[in-house]
Amino acid sequence: MTPEQFEFIKKWQKDTFPNATDISKLNHLSKEIGELKDAINDEDHTIDHEKVRKVRMEFADCFLLLFGAAASYGLTYENICHVIDTKMEINKARKWGEPNEQGFQEHIK
State mean pLDDT over 16-27: 96
The candidate with the shortest Cα–Cα distance to 29, out of 62, 69, 56, is 62
Residues 6+ apart with CB under 8 A from 104: none
Confidence of residue 43 (pLDDT cuts 50, 70, 90): low
Q: Report phi then psi at 30, rounded to 5.
A: -60, -40
pTM: 0.87
49-103 residue pLDDT tens? 888 899 999 999 999 999 999 999 999 999 999 999 999 999 999 999 999 998 9
